């Protein structure tokens, strides 16, 4: 897969699922930005998918 295609795929996921994410806003308000970010990366299914796609870059 070409690098540009990978970036486009990740951007599409972010725009579609993450832009107005209720869980991110909730966790950010309740426990802070750092916790919300860690949740997105480690526990959210969309975050896991983005990590899997991103691993193709290296």
Check residue 58 and give its pLDDT.
76
Cα Dmax for the chain: 39
5-49 pLDDT per residue, tens? 999 999 999 999 999 999 999 999 999 999 999 999 999 999 999
CB atoms within 10 A of CB 11: 11
Check residue 46 and give its pLDDT.
95
Check residue 1 and give its pLDDT.
66
- Prediction pTM value: 0.77
Check residue 57 and give its pLDDT.
86
């Amino acid at each position: 897969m070409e690098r540009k295609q990978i970036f486009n795929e990740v951007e599409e996921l972010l725009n579609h699922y993450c832009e107005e994410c209720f869980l991110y806003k909730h966790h950010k308000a309740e426990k802070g930005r750092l916790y919300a970010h860690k949740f997105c990366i480690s526990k959210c299914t969309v975050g896991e998918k983005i990590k899997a796609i991103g691993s193709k870059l290296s």
